[in-house]
């Protein structure tokens, strides 16, 4: 698998610094699980974070901080989240959010054979799985702010090019794109958008068209 | 390959450095107190509390400083710094000195604690890599990485003040969502291009050093 569309440097840096909204960090972590190149670049930014930490300001710890720390080592330590495992086409981080593999996803229809599933992430951005039958197009959709689209299965093409598994498209609100799934496998993507979009299924179709969401 | 996982864009240069003499010297003098990797390996392999104490004295105040710069009050920062050091003890078995410096490793733990405790959000982590059959611990990897880490620290210190501040801000600043738009690059903002300049300079500086030494 050759990945041709990678994450941008500012995105990798923001991820390494821990500043991305959760939905974006999910797409980034999922891409990194498929792309050694971006994983390595993210690692480089973490090294910068480490160097800054090492050179950074010290703020004195309270009295007996070390004694408290040592005493704590005998007691219960902070619980760790269990590590998710990859499931089918879902790399581990995504499988963790879905709670399983493709069969686990609860899709909602959004018209034209296209389906979506919204994943539970924190405020500020929204993550969705999108299912586009081979050969079909997602209706024009604009969005506010940045949208990331990561291909998990199949491929799609739009004005910016062709995207296969592992490729990630970064688009901003200036772009109104019409991704079309290519022939072959149905296309499944993970997306994150900066501003929560309205759920298409809840809005009358006419209004949808008019609002271009 | 360690280099390809750790720090390639800043770090491919360490590959070129190849200063065997220096590595041997480092090996011989590895017992000093600032051999953080050696200390953490002692925590990892022997649950060495004295080694933990040395790491704590160095890193806990830095973690606290980082957390306060990220917006935590002193009391919360102190608690979280304690948590970070406890996680360091607990996860020491995962530490591989050929893959990350101790400072980088502590930074990632502190960053995750910050997201958890300050932002009350979750952070998705990439899939753990399958490293295949347990490799022989490779001391030259670890030393190459230590050397590279030192170079990175020097390059950072050598950056002109404003550029250094920008990089710091990009890492420490508690950015609003509007600022994240600038930070994440689209639409293009001045912040982004300035940070890019600073990073380019950082890379150039490290590359030049390597050239000068090989």
Question: Which CATH number do you get for residue A199?
Answer: 2.60.120.10
In angstroms, the separation between the Cα of residue A112 and the nearest Cα of chain B is 30
Per the prediction, chain A carries an average pLDDT of 85
pLDDT of residue A190: 97
Does B155 or B131 have the greater pLDDT score? B155
Number of other CB atoms surrounding residue A135 within 10 Å: 13
Does A129 or B190 have the greater pLDDT score? A129
User: In angstroms, rounded to a whole number, what is the distance separating the alpha carbons of residues B66 and A53?
Assistant: 7
Q: What is the DSSP letter of A148?
A: E
pLDDT of residue B207: 66
Q: Across the interface, do A55 and B114 touch by the CB < 8 Å criterion?
A: no
- A68 at interface of B, judged by CB pairs closer than 8 A: yes
Query: How does pLDDT run across A56-73, given as a tens digit for each residue?
Result: 889 999 999 999 999 999
In angstroms, the separation between the Cα of residue B110 and the nearest Cα of chain A is 10
- Per-residue pLDDT averaged across A7-11, rounded? 87
Does A172 or A188 have the greater pLDDT score? A188
On the question of pLDDT at B5 being above 70, the answer is no
Cα A67 vs. chain centroid, distance in angstroms? Answer: 41
**Poorest-confidence range of A91-95, A208-212, B177-181, B205-209?**
A208-212
pLDDT of residue B179: 53
Does A58 or B14 have the greater pLDDT score? A58
Percent of residues, chain A, with pLDDT higher than 90: 54
Radius of gyration of chain A (CA): 20
On the question of pLDDT at B21 being above 90, the answer is no
B145, B45, B50, B97: CA torsion to nearest 10:
10
- A149 at interface of B, judged by CB pairs closer than 8 A: no
- Per-residue pLDDT averaged across B34-48, rounded? 93
On the question of pLDDT at A29 being above 70, the answer is yes
Number of other CB atoms surrounding residue B101 within 10 Å: 27
Q: Name the residue facing A72 among B82, B127, B157 (closest C-beta).
A: B82
- Per-residue pLDDT averaged across A29-52, rounded? 92
Contacts of A26 in chain B (CB under 8 A): 124
Contacts of B78 in chain A (CB under 8 A): 61-62, 65
The answer to whether A191 and A200 are in contact (CB under 8 A) is: no
Q: Compute the residue count for chain B.
A: 214
The answer to whether B151 and B14 are in contact (CB under 8 A) is: yes
Percent of residues, chain B, with pLDDT higher than 70: 63
Does B210 or B2 have the greater pLDDT score? B210
- Per-residue pLDDT averaged across A171-188, rounded? 84
Report residue A163's pLDDT band, with 50, 70 and 90 as the boundaries.
very high
The answer to whether A180 and A7 are in contact (CB under 8 A) is: no
- Per-residue pLDDT averaged across A130-140, rounded? 88
Q: How many CA atoms lie within 13 A of A122 on its CB side?
A: 16
- A174 at interface of B, judged by CB pairs closer than 8 A: yes
Distances (CA, A) of B172 to A153, B68, B114, B168: 36, 9, 10, 6
Contacts of A44 in chain B (CB under 8 A): 6-11
Ranges assigned E (strand) in chain B: none
Report residue B187's pLDDT band, with 50, 70 and 90 as the boundaries.
very low
Per the prediction, chain B carries an average pLDDT of 73
In angstroms, the separation between the Cα of residue B214 and the nearest Cα of chain A is 22
Which of B4, B77, B124, B169 to substitute to test the interface with A, most A CBs within 10 Å? B124
The answer to whether B104 and A49 are in contact (CB under 8 A) is: yes
pLDDT of residue A76: 79
In angstroms, the separation between the Cα of residue A195 and the nearest Cα of chain B is 10
- Per-residue pLDDT averaged across B101-119, rounded? 91
Number of other CB atoms surrounding residue B126 within 10 Å: 21
Q: Across the interface, do A53 and B66 touch by the CB < 8 Å criterion?
A: yes
As separate numbers, helices (DSSP H) first and strands (DSSP E) second, chain A gives 6, 9
User: In angstroms, rounded to a whole number, what is the distance separating the alpha carbons of residues B143 and B146?
Assistant: 5
On the question of pLDDT at B61 being above 80, the answer is yes
Contacts of A124 in chain B (CB under 8 A): 177
User: In angstroms, rounded to a whole number, what is the distance separating the alpha carbons of residues B177 and A46?
Assistant: 21
The answer to whether A88 and B203 are in contact (CB under 8 A) is: no
User: In angstroms, rounded to a whole number, what is the distance separating the alpha carbons of residues B52 and A199?
Assistant: 51
Nearest CA in chain B to A87: B127
pLDDT of residue A1: 66
User: In angstroms, rounded to a whole number, what is the distance separating the alpha carbons of residues B66 and B184?
Assistant: 21
- Per-residue pLDDT averaged across B71-97, rounded? 93
Q: B129: which residues sit within 8 A by CB, 6+ positions away?
A: B5
Q: In what order do the strands lie in the sheet with A156-158?
A: A161-163, A156-158, A180-181
- A79 at interface of B, judged by CB pairs closer than 8 A: no
Query: How does pLDDT run across A76-124, given as a tens digit for each residue?
Result: 777 777 788 999 999 999 999 999 999 999 999 988 899 999 998 887 7
User: In angstroms, rounded to a whole number, what is the distance separating the alpha carbons of residues B123 and A15?
Assistant: 9
- Per-residue pLDDT averaged across B37-66, rounded? 95
The domain of A147 spans 1-213
Question: How many folded domains does chain A comprise?
Answer: 1
Environment class of B136 (CB within 10 Å of its CB; exposed 0-12, middle 13-18, buried 19+):
exposed
């Amino acid at each position: 698998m050759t990945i041709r569309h990678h994450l941008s440097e500012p995105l990798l840096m923001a991820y390494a610094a821990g500043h991305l909204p959760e939905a974006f960090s999910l797409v980034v972590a999922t891409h990194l699980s498929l792309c050694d190149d971006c994983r390595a670049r993210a690692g480089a930014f973490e090294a910068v974070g480490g160097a800054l930490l090492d050179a950074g300001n010290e703020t004195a710890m309270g009295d007996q901080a070390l004694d408290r720390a040592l005493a704590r080592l005998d007691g219960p330590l902070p619980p760790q989240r269990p590590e998710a495992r990859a499931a089918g086409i879902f790399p581990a981080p995504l499988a963790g959010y879905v709670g399983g593999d493709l069969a686990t996803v609860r899709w909602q229809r959004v018209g034209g054979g296209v389906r979506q599933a919204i994943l539970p992430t924190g405020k500020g951005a929204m993550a969705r799985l999108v299912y586009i039958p081979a050969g079909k197009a997602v209706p024009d959709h604009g969005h506010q702010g940045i949208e990331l689209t990561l291909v998990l299965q199949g491929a799609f093409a739009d004005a910016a090019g062709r995207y296969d598994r592992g490729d990630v498209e970064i688009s901003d609100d200036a772009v109104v794109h019409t991704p079309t799934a290519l022939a072959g496998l149905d296309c499944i993507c993970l997306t994150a958008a900066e501003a929560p979009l309205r759920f298409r299924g809840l809005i009358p179709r006419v209004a949808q068209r008019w609002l271009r969401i | 390959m360690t280099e390809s996982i750790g720090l390639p864009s800043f770090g491919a240069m360490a590959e070129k450095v190849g200063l065997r003499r220096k590595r041997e010297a480092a090996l011989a003098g590895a017992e000093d107190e600032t051999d953080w990797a050696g200390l953490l390996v002692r925590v990892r392999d022997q649950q060495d509390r004295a080694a933990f104490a040395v790491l704590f004295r160095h890193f806990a105040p830095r973690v606290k400083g980082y957390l306060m710069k990220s917006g935590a009050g002193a009391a919360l920062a102190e608690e979280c710094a304690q948590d970070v050091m406890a996680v360091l003890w607990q996860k020491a078995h995962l530490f591989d000195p050929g893959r990350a410096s101790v400072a980088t490793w502590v930074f990632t733990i502190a960053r995750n604690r910050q997201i958890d405790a300050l932002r009350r959000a979750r952070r998705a982590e990439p899939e753990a890599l399958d490293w295949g059959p347990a490799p022989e611990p490779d001391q030259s990897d670890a030393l190459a990485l230590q050397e590279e880490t030192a170079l990175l620290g020097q390059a950072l210190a050598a950056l002109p003040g404003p550029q250094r501040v920008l990089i710091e801000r990009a890492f420490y600043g508690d950015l609003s969502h509007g600022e994240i738009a600038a930070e994440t690059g689209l639409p293009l903002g001045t912040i982004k291009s300035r940070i890019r300049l600073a990073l380019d300079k950082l890379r150039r500086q490290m590359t030049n050093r390597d050239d000068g030494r090989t």
